């Protein structure tokens, strides 16, 4: 199965659908976060954290 990058229009649509305030928490789908990639870097307090999507569809966060 080929991972195709969603268009910016599709990302904007997904982002609008998923940005809901539930008890003041922002909700974003993993599709919006990853934008077709399997890994992303989150910068927090001067540190890099890697969020990876496994072949089984699970998320792994490592420092």
Q: Could you tell me the domains of the chain?
A: 29-62 (2.10.70.10)
Is-above-0.75 flag for pTM? no
Helix (H, G, I), strand (E, B) or coil at 62: strand
d(CA 39, CA 34): 7
pLDDT in tens, 27-50: 889 999 999 999 999 999 999 999
Contact 40, 34 (CB under 8 A): yes
Residue of 41 and 12 predicted with greater confidence? 41
């Amino acid at each position: 199965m080929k991972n195709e990058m969603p268009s910016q229009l599709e990302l904007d649509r997904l982002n609008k659908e998923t940005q809901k305030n539930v008890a003041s928490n922002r909700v974003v789908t993993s599709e919006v976060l990853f934008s077709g990639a399997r890994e992303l870097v989150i910068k927090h307090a001067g540190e890099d954290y890697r969020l990876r999507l496994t072949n089984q569809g699970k998320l792994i966060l490592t420092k």
